[in-house]
Amino acid sequence: GEDVEQSLFLSVREGDSSVINCTYTDSSSTYLYWYKQEPGAGLQLLTYIFSNMDMKQDQRLTVLLNKKDKHLSLRIADTQTGDSAIYFCAGWGKLQFGAGTQVVVTP
Amino acid sequence: GAVVSQHPSWVICKSGTSVKIECRSLDFQATTMFWYRQFPKQSLMLMATSNEGSKATYEQGVEKDKFLINHASLTLSTLTVTSAHPEDSSFYICSAPDGQGTGELFFGEGSRLTVL
């Protein structure tokens, strides 16, 4: 299977929380990243977490890292229409990216 | 934060021609830059690592003679798609790690190549 797996699609209502999940097999990366990609644009770094941390909060964003289960998640609180995009988790030794999760926010 | 700029943002060319895409670090020096390819609704695929002053390192399955990479200075890497064909049409993105050792990658805006 893939080294990094993400769910492909998520639909949320405006104001709700979004949770995007990512599982991985290689645990050698020092940093784990979440990137946002809007249509036709490059990638924008949202946040990152050191591999020795369990949680990082940055305004509306909360990153949770479960090293035992090799599971990374991104929670977006109070999701807005401007949060509609594709979200990629990334990291590991050779800059591997997950397939991306398309988040659609409905009014 | 640091800025990485790509040029052109969109290029359309005829089959058989060569296209050069530039990736510049605007306010920092980048001895290493990465080139990715992204197909519609798919993830980024690392193509090669560009090293200033030395040969690029290509990922398995990426044709070196097809995708020429030159890292001529500490702020510029170029990707040349030689003898382009329609199957080369894609979104090409470059990135560079910051020079502060945080591990953060800064991405260019991407270059969309359409080969007719």
If you average pLDDT over every residue of chain A, what do you get? 84
Calculate how close chain B gets to A20, using CA atoms only, in Å: 15
Binned at pLDDT 50, 70 and 90, residue B22 comes out as very high
The answer on pLDDT for B40 being more than 50 is: yes
Which pLDDT belongs to residue B1?
Answer: 61
Give the mean pLDDT of A58-83. Answer: 93
Exposed, middle or buried by CB within 10 Å (0-12, 13-18, 19+), for A6? buried
Q: Which of A85-94, B21-30, B39-48 has the lowest mean pLDDT?
A: A85-94
Q: Give phi and psi for A18, each to the nearest 5.
A: -110, 140
Q: Who among A42, A94, A96 is closest to B108 (CB)? A: A42
Q: Who among A41, A94, A98 is closest to B46 (CB)? A: A94
**Is residue A45 within 8 angstroms of chain B, CB to CB?**
yes
Q: Given the structure tokens 């990658």, which residue do they identify?
A: B105
The answer on pLDDT for A97 being more than 80 is: no
Which pLDDT belongs to residue B103?
Answer: 63
Question: Which chain A residue has its CA at the smallest distance from B3's CA?
Answer: A44
Give the mean pLDDT of B79-98. Answer: 92
Binned at pLDDT 50, 70 and 90, residue B94 comes out as very high
pLDDT single digits (tens) A50-69: 888 899 998 999 999 998 88
The more confidently predicted of residues A31 and B77 is B77
Binned at pLDDT 50, 70 and 90, residue A45 comes out as confident
- Say how many CA atoms lie within 13 Å of B21 toward its Cβ: 32
The answer on pLDDT for A1 being more than 60 is: no
Mutation for A interface: B45, B105, B106, B114, most A CBs within 10 A:
B105
**Is residue A48 within 8 angstroms of chain B, CB to CB?**
yes
Q: Give phi and psi for A49, each to the nearest 5.
A: -135, 140
Give the integer Cα–Cα distance in Å for B34 and B23.
Answer: 10
The answer on pLDDT for B92 being more than 80 is: yes
**Residues above pLDDT 90, as percent of chain A:** 36
Q: Do residues B3 and B23 lie in contact, with contact meaning Cβ atoms separated by under 8 Å?
A: no
Give the integer Cα–Cα distance in Å for A92 and B116.
Answer: 36
Which pLDDT belongs to residue A18?
Answer: 92
For residue A18, give both structure tokens.
Answer: 């979004």
